[in-house]
A = this chain, B = another copy of it.
Amino acid sequence: MKIAQVAPLWEQVPPPSYGGIELVVSRLTDELVRRGHDVTLFASGDSQTLADLKAVYPRALRLDPNVKDYGVYETLELSQVYQNAAEFDIIHSHVGISALPLASLVSTPTVHTLHGKFNSDNRNVFSHHQKQAYVSISNAQRQIDLNYVGTVYNGINPADYPFVAKPEEPPYLAFLGRFSPEKGPQHAIAIAKKTGWRLKMAGKVDLVDSKFFEQEIAPQIDGQQIEYLGEINHAEKAELLGNATITLFPISWSEPFGLVMIESMATGTPVIALNLGSVPEVIAQGVTGMVCQSYDEMAATIKSALELSRQTCREYVENNFSVSQMVNGYEAVYEKIIQDRIHSNGRVRVGNIRF
């Protein structure tokens, strides 16, 4: 199959540290190539991939101080993708709503993975493009009525996350994620303080969250009970999660997937999370973690979570959230969309009209 993968340009593919979407795109793209597909990846020029890389811009936009207007480069990327639509059997977009009007104008089938959340603004555009093929990354994500072809959970390669049979002593709780109110680092700190547990935290602080970090997080970091490791790379991430006794996922929004949950479970570390969004689909309640109704319950349940089998956590990810399963899911989605298109049109693709 000739497949175009369209990645955001903000981070490299794969991302050196934080960047959920770019990580998923990377794993998916490379595995599709390994399975024999002819894949073109549209992404920043410093991306590393087995696919044919089409670099829209030489480096990740967030690393370039000369770039003032990011949206502009997405427009350029989408121009390059959709003007060459006829070269592909399917176009798989990971970039959001700006691809939708373009997708509606070409005859090459396009599928959009919904990586984010619906809001009062973007839902108007999604609803307008209701008939487009969408993939949700959890069932909980399907808050509006669209043409969902399937749910394909994000997958990781368990080999990238060494299994840790016995967590570090003295024990600690881990928090990994962007330091924004919706990810809940403030709740992680409150849970640690309430229970007396040590807490190690890592993740980036976006400019928009710098005030939140300075006011609500920084004053509580004492380097003893509450540690902040900054923005960490993949190896450090696996180490932070693997050596933890429990990972906290104290979100305050409906997270559409939550990669950190499967990363943690892959290393053997169970997850205690608030019951929002995808959480009950990703954690096997009472087996690989605890799905709680409140932050208080999260604190209270740490004790019982200590009983959970780390080996079971690992196997659960291997059996349910591997790259291999994710790619099986997307291959099935591509096949389905192309078959549906053949049946409804009597042709595979005719290319877009250009002058």
Contact = CB atoms under 8 A, between A and B. Distances in A.
Interface size class of A (residues with CB under 8 A): 35 or more
Given A69-B121, A83-B101, A101-B82, A353 B107 contact: yes
A117 to B, nearest CB: 12
Interface of A: 66-69, 71-73, 75-76, 78-80, 82-83, 97-98, 100-102, 104-107, 119-122, 124-125, 128-129, 341, 344-345, 350, 352-355
Number of copies of this chain in the oligomer?
2
A82 B105 contact: yes
A344 B345 CA distance: 29
A317 to B, nearest CB: 34
A122 B72 contact: yes
Given A69-B122, A73-B121, 9 more contacts: A67-B121, A75-B125, A78-B101, A79-B101, A79-B125, A83-B101, A101-B102, A106-B353, A107-B353
B76 A354 contact: no
Nearest to A71: B71
Contacts of A353: 105-107, 350, 352-353
A79 B119 contact: no
Given A83-B101, A353-B350, A355-B107, A119 B344 contact: no
